[in-house]
Structures are given as structure tokens and as C-alpha cells.
Chain A
Amino acid sequence: MAAVTDLLFSLDARIVLWLNQAVGIFGPLDAAMYVLGSDYFVPVSQALGLLGLWFSGETQRHREHRQRAVLRAALSLGFAALVIVICNHFWFRERPFAHLEVANLLYEPTDSSFPANPAAISFAIASGAFTGNRKAGLAMFLLAALWVLARVANGVYYPSDVLAGAAIGMAVGPAARLVLRLMEPAPTWLIQGFRFFHLA
């Protein structure tokens, strides 16, 4: 078991070091990684995507389907954040930059590396959005993947942190769906309340 763990950790480190070779050699790529890897670009873009999804749709029925997906995405985000808080209570894994010699364009967080919070929340939002509109969902999955790739390349997360975070993000989607179903008619009332004021 220990040998398998060592092999995985070594593979993790090798992937980080391999990706890190791209950092600091090409200005435009660095700029892209700086923006994509920040705490603001992907979350704001995904949240704005949900705002756009809320108002989109050809018919009211079509729009309501998407609005329910927005609710699922929002609830999934909450669940993913909660699971991360619980995981962080039990595990602490140091960041790659603490052990490896890497070039880093981003700031150095002090909380646990495992599981990756950005992966969990961005994949949770994307999987929620995907249930309402596949194209929007795929665009959000792409943003999520670029966000975590930038952070792995800069030595802020190990690939296994990101995989665990993404798995959490994807797993909370069905849970959010179930909870919303159990909470009926509250979600329907919420949408009807917004519709009453011409906001849904």
C-alpha cells in the first residue's frame, strides 16, 4: 500500500514539474496562466454564465428547465464547499511549492492542497449548468479545466488534489438534484416568485 502511495505521490510531483516547465518562458502564456489561475476570472465567468442561463430560453418551459439547472449549480457549489471544509478538517496536505522547486506566478495559499477547492466548486457549477444546457455546461467544464491546469502548472496543487476536487464537484450534482426534489415545492415557489416579478 505504501509503495502504491509513494508511486502516486512521485507521479504527482513529476506531472507538476513537467507542466511547470511552461511557466516563465513565454510572456503571453504566463499572462494567460496569471488570469486563468487567479481567484476571480473563472468563478466570475461561471457565475455570469449562470446569470445568462437564467434569462435564456425560447419558451417559458425551456427557460424554467435552465433556471432549475442554475438552482442545482448554486446548491452544488454550496455542497462542494461544505465537503471541502469537512475534508480539510481531517486531512492536511502541503502544497507542491513547499516541496518542489517550481516557478510560480500565483500567490502561495496556506490551506490544505487536498482536495482542490477550485476544482470542486468549478466542476460543481459546470455539472449543474450542464443539466440545463449542454453547450454552456461544456464551456464551464473547459473553464474549470483551464483554472485547475493553471494552478497545477504553477505548483499550487498536485494533479491528485485536482482529480479529487473534480470528483467531489461532479458527485455533489446528483445530491443537489435529490435535495431540490425533496425540497419541492420550495424550488418551484422560488421560481414562481421570481416569475411574478418578471425575473424568471
Chain B
Amino acid sequence: MDDPFILDYIALVYVAALGTLQVAAAANGLQGLMLLGRRGLCLILGISLLGGAFTWFFLSAPRNVPDYLSGLNGTQQFYGFCAGVAAAFITTAVAAAFAQRQLGQGAVSLPEGVEGLRTSHYPRLLYWRLRGLWRR
């Protein structure tokens, strides 16, 4: 049995999920997830990441391989996908917070759920949430 290309698959999902999050953030005005200041630029970045990820994945090695050789079965794909998306979300949240450090600063209250990402970055929202829990 050849080495499965699980790491390649996770890399594909990671980069493509970074792109998807940029497209979703730009299309829905979620400033707190945007890596670049302008929505148009984020959209271009997202589409480029998506296209680049798939292009690299399919050009870098043969990918039509059965799962009894180096291909991936459904379970491996599921766990690989979850790992790639989780890593992409953490990266996006941290990088967007770094890129937009002032976002949400001085806010008295922050909206619930994803709505909060329109006016603040994720680490700030999480800090507020955890601080609120601590004070209860």
C-alpha cells in the first residue's frame, strides 16, 4: 500500500476553506473575518485561494487512486475535512484580528452570534464571551 495523501488533502481543504471564508466574509460583510480591508479584494483573494488550492492538488500528483492504494476513503476524507476547516477558521480569525486590530475596540456591547463579526474580530468576541462567563 502506498502512503495515503491525507496531508495533501488536508492542505487542499485548509487553503480552499481559507478562500471560502474570505468569499463568505466579503459577500456578507463580516468585517471580523476579512484578511484585507476591502470587500472586493477579499473576494478576489478568496477566489484565488480556492482556484489555487484545487489547481495545486490536481496538478501535483495523480489523484484518481483507489482507497486501497494511496487514495482516501470516506472516513479519512471526513476527518481530513474537519481538520482542514478548523485550522482554516483559526488561521482566519487570528490573521484577521491581527490585520484589523482596532475593529470592535471601545464597543459597549457586541451583537450575538455571527452578527458580531460585522463589527468586531473573533478573538475580541471570544474574550468578551469568556469574560462574561467568568463574571457570572
Contact = CB atoms under 8 A, between A and B. Distances in A.
A200 B125 CA distance: 13
Contacts of B13: 44, 48
Contacts of A34: 58, 64
Nearest to A104: B64
Contact of B24 (A41, A47, A51): A51
Interface residues of A, number: 33
B49 to A, nearest CB: 11
A38 B24 CA distance: 26
Nearest to A106: B64
Contacts of B85: 51
B114 A200 contact: yes
Interface residues on B, range: 35 or more
B8 to A, nearest CB: 10
B112 interface: yes
Interface stretch (A53-61, A87-95, A159-167): A53-61
B20 interface: yes
Contacts of A35: 54, 58
Contacts of A60: 112-115
Given A40-B12, A44-B13, A200 B113 contact: yes
A198 B117 contact: yes
29 contacts: A34-B58, A34-B64, A35-B58, A38-B63, A39-B71, A40-B57, A40-B72, A44-B12, A44-B81, A47-B81, A48-B13, A48-B17, A51-B21, A51-B85, A55-B25, A55-B30, A55-B114, A56-B28, A57-B28, A107-B65, A107-B66, A110-B68, A194-B113, A195-B114, A197-B129, A198-B117, A198-B122, A198-B126, A199-B114
Interface of A: 34-35, 37-41, 43-44, 47-48, 51-52, 55-58, 60, 63, 81, 105-110, 194-200
